[in-house]
Amino acid sequence: MSLVLDPAAQDLLFREARTANAFTDEPVTDEQMQAIYDLVKYGPTAFNQTPLRVVLVRSAEARERLLPHMAEGNRPKTASAPLVAILAADNEFHEELPALFPHFPQAKDVFFGERPARENSALLNAALQAAYFIVGVRAAGLAAGPMTGFDPAGLQKEFLDGDHTPLMVVNIGRPAENAWFPRSPRLAYDDVIKTV
């Protein structure tokens, strides 16, 4: 019993949580999304930066605009999920650093004055925040269906701009019956972790 986290929470977030490919009709509310964000916004990032941006695709019109940019195999579930979120990295996140990292406001220019450095940091830290977001969806008792199978340039043009790089699209909702594949294997501890 090396973990302090309650076993029910372990199951909810990791052990029994699964990537869902089919959902019930039950809506996902703005209140749920607000609660998820208010929890996972505290996940740590470098310099307290917050590059993650989320576009919630709620309207039928926006859903229609999204589908052609998804890989064909991802379209049916993206069409039928109660809510779809586009997760992107804001490559101009440094503008917020003086407010977000007040004990070293110079970080904005010292570390992120050049766009390539910003893009690298935005990608890494928005990916961390994307993982916290997935954990947060599960914390709300919902299933997430993250997907990287889409046309990045098309998605960027349709929903974002040149300063925002799409990372993933996440279907969100209550899982339907038979919503997932059988659990696939994971690497063993000794295949991943070595001690020196």
Among 140, 155, 169, 172, binds its own copies (CB under 8 A): 140
Binding of residue 55 to its own copies (CB under 8 A) = yes
Contact status: 44 vs its own copies (CB under 8 A): yes
Which of 67, 79, 128, 176 is in the footprint of its own copies by CB under 8 A? 128
- Total residues at the site for its own copies (CB under 8 A)? 81
Contact of 24 with 176, CB cutoff 8 Å: yes
Residues in the chain: 196
Residues 91-110 within binding reach of its own copies (CB under 8 A): 96, 99-103
146 is a site residue for its own copies (CB under 8 A): yes
CA distances (Å), 105 to each of 37, 101, 112, 176, in order? 25, 6, 11, 47
Minimum distance between the CB of residue 177 and its own copies, rounded to whole angstroms?
A: 19
Our finding on whether 112 is near its own copies (CB under 8 A) is: no
Half-sphere exposure of 193 (CA within 13 A, CB side): 2
Q: Can you tell me the distance from the alpha carbon of 146 to that of 134, in angstroms, rounded to the nearest whole number?
A: 8
